């Protein structure tokens, strides 16, 4: 069965520090992989997406992610975190079941210290 | 212009009541979804409609009934509300096709007392 694991429930970094959020997936074929961000009280916004091609994907807000098939991972990175990056981050894999169904990880809450 | 909108934003009600949440998208997408986010932030799909046809129906109690009057609207009606229904419900839409980005609404926080 398809699944997504985000091992870190909560991460705290200092403003200006680098960031890496981990995501591991289980999927039978070549997956679509997504990172979404949810700011407090808001809906989810897509940061970036991967399906094929260059395994290093650039997204919005200075984020990037690298697909590593051998490790079944799709980790999200940012070289220098801003206070406004504090939010909940969700990794997702799909599609599942023949439709555009996404399976989400449990999320990683990012706190940023000034 | 709001892409995916939901009403109401907050809904507080008593157990046993019936309530509806409305969703509209102005993106011209064919596919719409309902997700439930529980208190631990876990996000799970409930339903999906493609051009008014139900295509995904997860293991959801039949007290939940989605209705799509047209492809721009997907409403969620919940009968006989229970405490465990308290959650944030998100509507989303996407173009037809596998792997397309889903655009999410702002969510409706439902609290059942």
Residuewise pLDDT in 10s, chain A (114 residues): 789 999 999 999 999 999 999 999 998 777 899 999 999 888 899 999 998 889 999 999 999 999 999 999 999 999 999 999 999 999 999 876 567 788 999 999 999 998
The radius of gyration computed from the CA coordinates of chain B, to the nearest angstrom, equals 13
Structure tokens at A79: 């070289």
pLDDT of residue B100: 80
Q: Report pLDDT digits (tens) over B71-88.
A: 999 999 999 999 999 999
Count CA atoms closer than 13 A to A67's CA, side-chain side: 20
Instruction: List, for residues B8-20, the tens digit of each pLDDT value.
Output: 999 999 999 999 9
- Nearest CB partner across the interface for B42, out of A36, A43, A106: A106
Residue in B12, B41, B9 with CA at minimum distance from that of residue B22: B9
Q: Which residue's entry shows tokens 């992610």?
A: A65
Q: Check residue A42 and give left, alpha or beta (phi > 0: left; psi -120 to 50: alpha).
A: beta
Contact B45 A101 (CB under 8 A): yes
């Amino acid at each position: 069965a398809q699944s997504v694991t985000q091992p870190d429930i909560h991460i705290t970094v200092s403003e200006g520090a680098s960031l890496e959020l981990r995501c591991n997936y289980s999927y039978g074929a070549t997956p679509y992989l997504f990172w979404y961000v949810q700011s407090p009280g808001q809906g989810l916004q897509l940061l970036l997406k991967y399906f094929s091609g260059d395994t290093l994907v650039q997204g919005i807000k200075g984020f990037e992610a690298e697909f590593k098939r051998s490790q079944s991972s799709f980790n999200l990175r940012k070289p220098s975190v801003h206070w406004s990056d504090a939010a909940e981050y969700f990794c997702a894999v799909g599609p599942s079941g023949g439709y555009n169904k996404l399976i989400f990880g449990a999320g990683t809450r990012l706190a940023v210290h000034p | 212009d709001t892409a995916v909108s939901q009403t109401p934003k907050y809904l507080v009600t008593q157990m046993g009541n019936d309530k509806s949440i409305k969703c509209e998208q102005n993106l011209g997408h064919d596919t719409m979804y309902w997700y439930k986010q529980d208190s631990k932030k876990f996000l799970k799909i409930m339903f999906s409609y493609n051009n008014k046809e139900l295509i995904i129906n997860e293991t959801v109690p039949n007290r939940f009934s989605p209705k799509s009057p047209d492809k721009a609207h997907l409403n969620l009606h919940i009968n006989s509300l229970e405490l465990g229904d308290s959650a944030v419900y998100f509507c989303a839409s996407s173009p037809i096709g596998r792997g397309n980005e889903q655009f999410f609404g702002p969510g409706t926080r439902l609290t059942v007392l």
